[in-house]
Amino acid sequence: MKTTFSILIAFLLLIPSFAAAEESADEIMKKAHLSSYYSGDDGRSNMAMLVYAKGAKKPLKKIFSMLKIDLEEGGQQKFFIYFQSPADIKKTTFLVHKKVDEDDYRRLYLPASDKVIPIAGSRKQDPFMGSDYSYEDISGRHFNKDHHKKIGEEALTVKEKNKSITYQTFAMESVPKIKEEKIAKIRSWIDKKTYTPIRVEFINHDGKVYKRYQSYQIQKIDGFPTIMRRVMESPLDDTRTIILLNPKKTGYNLGVPEDLFSDRSLKNPPMKYLN
């Protein structure tokens, strides 16, 4: 009897651990979104975007800086991007006010024509500055736009330059709540430890993967897991884009003022915070 009672007590003590492991699909995807886009209350990063056209061995290199501020955890955010090179797009700026229950507010300033261009919600899947990333990819697709389900748990091995890293992941599938022109479903592999999306596949209405994303070189900056190398490829077009973060110019909780994320900054960028 004593042995049976001891086993029962041990089992009851394990129940909280089992319960914690049984996260819902929505909870997993929310945490993945927070991990990807909501580190710190604000942040700055300097990036090199390498755009490989079809058949090209050398990329077109574009350098830009990005600021972001979180107005509410998992909710409204604001982003500002400033392009430093090449010369033909220097001083191009991009502003996003990310919303939850309506289309994001997006504005692109082109200095060559001195025009501010609204990016309508219907264009959110269009290429961003000629890359394989879309406008929506830059600021992040909000997790509440899709129905999510967990389809399994997988060990996912990623080959780095000098080593291979195996992540234990949640395999997820997401379907837009409102039918979209390009996206029929999205498959994601989310690291169980940090909730970082390690791989994401975008599937069209013909059932083909038309974009594939991969995370590399994840390291902590100011205590937050940060993806230092991101690759987005378009298998149907045979193109790809690599984004590399400069660790010396990436940081969080810098005290970036919210009033910088306004239309007036499009033509007068806040260089103090971008350099």
Domain assignment present for residue 1? The answer is no
Give the model's pLDDT for residue 58.
95
Contact 153, 170 (CB under 8 A): yes
Domain assignment present for residue 128? The answer is yes
In whole angstroms, give the CA distance from residue 214 to residue 201: 9
Domain assignment present for residue 9? The answer is no
Contact 46, 250 (CB under 8 A): yes
Domain assignment present for residue 163? The answer is yes
14: left (phi over 0), alpha (psi -120 to 50) or beta: alpha
Domain assignment present for residue 198? The answer is yes
What's the number of domains the chain is made of?
1
Domain assignment present for residue 217? The answer is yes
Domain extent for 141: 37-264
Q: What is the pLDDT along the chain (275 residues), one digit of tens a residue?
A: 555 555 555 555 555 544 445 899 999 999 999 999 999 999 999 999 999 999 898 999 999 999 999 999 999 999 999 999 999 999 999 999 999 888 899 999 999 999 999 999 889 999 999 999 999 999 999 999 999 999 999 999 999 888 899 999 999 999 999 999 999 999 999 999 999 999 999 999 999 999 999 999 999 999 999 999 999 999 999 999 999 999 999 999 999 999 999 999 999 999 999 98
Contact 239, 225 (CB under 8 A): no
Q: What is the CATH number of the domain that holds 161?
A: 2.50.20.10
Largest distance between two CA atoms of the chain? 84
Domain assignment present for residue 159? The answer is yes
Domain assignment present for residue 26? The answer is no
In whole angstroms, give the CA distance from residue 127 to residue 245: 20
Rounded to two decimals, the pTM is: 0.89
Element (H, E) at 264: helix 264-267
